[in-house]
Amino acid sequence: MEQLITFASDNGMLSAIWVALVVMIIVTTIKIQMSPIKQISTQDLTFLMNREEGIALDIRSDKDFKTSHILDAVSLSNEKINKNGFVSLEKHKAQPIIVVCSAGISAVKTANDLFKAGFTRVSVLKGGMNAWISAGLPVSKK
């Protein structure tokens, strides 16, 4: 313990950066846990689609969607969202909606926008299409 205190006092800047990183990780973890938008696994997505008629909302570009996508997924690229909002999803408001992007990062913003628009059962696929493909799950190329 004495060595740790000595190291921290001798390397103030490095210690401050380390403390800041730990605080950022803790804050991010708490925000994720408290958020109404949950990140779900590929298995959970399959369960929601099969048992609760969930909708996989693919927000990748039309080109990426045509290359490969989750079976029965609905394509709504960011360009279409910016132009028309979520009008095409109004009939699915009561169903679970799982937002899918390439890596699971950009889907969070769209999921938050959906939640603000009144869609109460919104989730994000953790890892996005990369996780889906890595898990060896089926994709459609139509």
Mean pLDDT (whole number) for 45-50? 93
Please enumerate, as own/partner, the contacts of 72-75 that have beta carbons within 8 Å and a separation of 24 or more.
72/140, 73/100, 73/140
Annotated active-site residue 120? The verdict is no
Spatial CB neighbours of 57, under 8 Å, sequence gap ≥ 6 = 73, 74, 76, 89, 97, 98, 99, 100, 110
Given pLDDT bands bounded at 50, 70 and 90, which one contains residue 130?
very high
Share of the chain above pLDDT 70, in %: 99
Q: Quote the Cα angle for 57-59-64, to 5°.
A: 115
pLDDT value for 117: 87
Apex 14 CA angle, 10 and 16, nearest 5: 100
Beta bridge partners of 55: 97
Query: What tens digit of pLDDT does each residue of 67-123 get?
Result: 999 999 999 987 777 777 788 888 888 899 999 999 888 898 899 888 988 888 999
What is the pLDDT averaged over residues 28-37? 82
Q: The whole model's pTM is what?
A: 0.77
Residue of 101, 124, 125, 129 marked active site? 101
Average of per-residue pLDDT values in the chain: 89
Average pLDDT over every residue of 40-60: 93
